[in-house]
């Protein structure tokens, strides 16, 4: 059997293969509610054979949304439809995961196809928050620095969201600490200009994400895996680096985090990112050397490429995004290409 289609056990959860549907924003919610779009989008990828299916970045509070159209889990009312989706994913032998997120200074924007710009108060926008007052883009309204009470509220929001995720039946949580959103903003010296215990030194800048992880793990069952997505580098001089990420990974491993999802960038508007096939895989390999499991992500588009990443011990899971948007049934086709015999949905066996 190929490595791509070999199972992976993490705590008490076994993934049937190493293909993960990466969290991908759909900008299709009203007031944070999941709907039929999310059911079809996520459910079809479970039918398509992925071992783990993540929701998009799911806001832990209304002010933590990137856009007004983001998925949310800040209300008990959000649980019902999510539970229905989770049940369908599990019925089709995939595992349902949820990414919990707070957008920080990159919140209060319109959806990409509506312009992607910061929304003003007249456009139903809201005040953004961040470690400090540095805006993501020069000239836009600056974020409001979080007070100590504000920090406590964010941590509490993550905890409450984790409890709701459990009630909805999710088996894996991923905490979003990447792409220039709030937790990443605390990590990077380019976005964190605080002078208290949450800013300055590496120890201080990592304090926020470690406190969130501790708090979430305290309410998330020991039997269930906890992932963290990070941006392995800011791709900008003076910013967060892969060396910082390796140090952070060791700390997260000590906090009972099971896997680091190794992305990059998103925090600096003008950063020059050398995008290309598998361009972030070296980060996954470097972080994996700390002894923690890792996920590789970033322009992974073929079965052979994914198999090579795993065979060469550069990652434990392969997170796929755009390729799975193009083809929800990629796993079924990849198994055939790699010579693996896997179960198809009974309704689709005639096409095997």
Per annotation, catalytic residue among 181, 198, 329, 348 = 181
Rounded average pLDDT over 126-131: 98
pLDDT tens for 197-254 read 999 999 999 999 999 999 999 999 999 999 999 999 999 999 999 999 999 999 999 9
What is 191-213 written as a DSSP string? Answer: T----STTSSSHHHHTHHHHHHH
Q: To the nearest 10°, report the CA torsion of 158, 228, 17, 58.
A: 40
Residue 143 confidence (pLDDT)? 98
CA atoms 261, 213, 75, 61: torsion sign: negative
pLDDT tens for 286-301 read 999 999 999 999 999 9
Residue 127 confidence (pLDDT)? 97
pTM exceeding 0.85: yes
Cα 80 from chain centroid (whole Å): 22
Average pLDDT of the chain, as a whole number: 97
List the structure tokens of 294: 């890792």
Query: How does residue 139 score in pLDDT terms, banded at 50, 70 and 90?
Result: confident
For residues 122 and 60, give the distance between their C-alpha atoms in angstroms, rounded to a whole number.
Answer: 24
Residue 280 confidence (pLDDT)? 98
For residues 186 and 303, give the distance between their C-alpha atoms in angstroms, rounded to a whole number.
Answer: 36
For residues 45 and 341, give the distance between their C-alpha atoms in angstroms, rounded to a whole number.
Answer: 18
Residue 313 confidence (pLDDT)? 98
Check pLDDT > 90 for residue 121.
no
Rounded average pLDDT over 189-200: 98
What are the angstrom distances between the C-alpha of 302 and each of 4, 142, 151, 318? 11, 41, 42, 11
Query: How does residue 57 score in pLDDT terms, banded at 50, 70 and 90?
Result: very high
Non-local (6+) Cβ contacts of 248 within 8 A are 187, 206, 209, 230
How many Cβ atoms from other residues are within 10 Å of residue 231's Cβ? 27
* 279 a catalytic residue: no
Check pLDDT > 90 for residue 109.
yes
Rounded average pLDDT over 87-95: 98
Rounded average pLDDT over 147-153: 98
The helix or strand, by DSSP H or E, that contains position 134, with its residue range, turns out to be: none
Rounded average pLDDT over 248-274: 97
For residues 67 and 349, give the distance between their C-alpha atoms in angstroms, rounded to a whole number.
Answer: 40
pLDDT tens for 296-342 read 999 999 999 999 999 999 999 999 999 999 999 999 999 999 999 99
The helix or strand, by DSSP H or E, that contains position 229, with its residue range, turns out to be: strand 226-231
Non-local (6+) Cβ contacts of 23 within 8 A are 54, 55, 56, 57, 99, 174, 176, 229
Rounded average pLDDT over 271-300: 97
How many Cβ atoms from other residues are within 10 Å of residue 66's Cβ? 25
Contact in structure between 261 and 173 (CB atoms under 8 Å) = no
How many Cβ atoms from other residues are within 10 Å of residue 123's Cβ? 11
List the structure tokens of 256: 């009972």
Residue 78 confidence (pLDDT)? 98
Strands 8-10 vs 13-15: parallel, antiparallel or unpaired: antiparallel
């Amino acid at each position: 059997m190929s490595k791509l289609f070999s199972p992976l056990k993490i705590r008490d959860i076994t993934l049937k293969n190493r293909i993960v549907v990466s969290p991908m924003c759909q900008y299709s919610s009203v007031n944070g509610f999941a709907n039929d779009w999310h059911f079809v989008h996520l459910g079809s990828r479970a039918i398509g054979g992925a071992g783990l299916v993540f929701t998009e970045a799911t806001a832990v509070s209304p002010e933590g949304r990137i856009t007004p159209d983001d998925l949310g889990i800040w209300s008990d009312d959000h649980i019902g439809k999510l539970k229905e989706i989770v049940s369908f994913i599990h019925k089709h032998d995939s595992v349902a995961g949820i990414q919990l997120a707070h957008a920080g200074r990159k919140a209060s924007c319109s959806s990409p196809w509506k312009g992607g710009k910061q929304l003003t108060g007249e456009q139903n926008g809201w005040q953004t928050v961040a470690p400090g007052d540095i805006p993501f883009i020069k000239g836009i309204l600056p974020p409001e620095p979080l007070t100590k009470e504000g920090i406590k509220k964010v941590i509490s929001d993550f905890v409450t969201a984790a409890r709701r995720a459990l009630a909805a039946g999710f088996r894996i949580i991923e905490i979003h600490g990447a792409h220039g959103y709030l937790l990443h903003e605390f990590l990077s010296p380019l976005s964190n200009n605080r002078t208290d215990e949450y800013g300055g030194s590496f120890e201080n800048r990592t304090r926020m994400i470690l406190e969130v992880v501790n708090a979430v793990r305290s309410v998330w069952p020991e039997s269930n895996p906890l992932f963290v997505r990070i941006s392995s580098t800011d791709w900008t001089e003076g910013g967060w680096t892969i060396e910082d990420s390796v140090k952070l990974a060791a700390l997260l491993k000590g906090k009972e985090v099971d896997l680091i999802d190794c992305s990059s960038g998103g925090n600096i508007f003008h950063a020059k990112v050398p995008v290309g096939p598998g361009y972030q895989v070296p980060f996954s390999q470097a972080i994996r050397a700390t002894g923690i499991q890792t996920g590789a992500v970033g322009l992974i588009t073929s079965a052979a490429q994914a198999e090579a990443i795993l065979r060469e011990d550069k990652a434990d899971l392969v997170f796929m995004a755009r390729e799975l948007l193009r083809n929800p049934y990629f796993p079924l086709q990849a198994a055939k290409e790699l010579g693996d015999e896997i179960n198809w949905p009974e309704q689709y066996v005639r096409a095997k």
